[in-house]
Amino acid sequence: MPWLEYMISTILAAYHEFEQRLGRLSSGHGSKADMIQNAIDGFIGDFSLSDLENACPSVGRDWIRAVLQRLRKEGKVEVIGKGRYARWRKYQ
């Protein structure tokens, strides 16, 4: 019995750590936008479009740009610079 309790507690701890690292996964309509938003929330400091592409490999560049533009209009992020070396900054 002690071994079984140990094994279950280890699996439970691993599950909680996995959940913290991965965050919430959503499914259905808008899940890619949620994935982008979660990635942005996870960044510390400025980030680039390439950083978002690496954080969300299943999301296309055009969709990432669309979500960034929507967040920019909502006043949640701002763009710093132009072109290839543009960086983005989130507002708290």
What SS3 class is residue 43? coil
Tokens read off for 23:
């965050």
Crossing angle of the two packed helices 31-42 and 61-73, in degrees rounded to 10: 70
| Angle in degrees, CA 84, 57, 13, rounded to 5 | 130
Q: What region does 26 belong to: left with phi over 0, alpha with psi -120 to 50, or beta?
A: beta
Domains of the chain: 26-90 (1.10.10.10)
Tens of pLDDT, residue by residue over 34-83, are 889 889 988 898 999 999 999 998 899 999 999 999 999 999 999 999 98
Q: Tell me the pTM.
A: 0.65
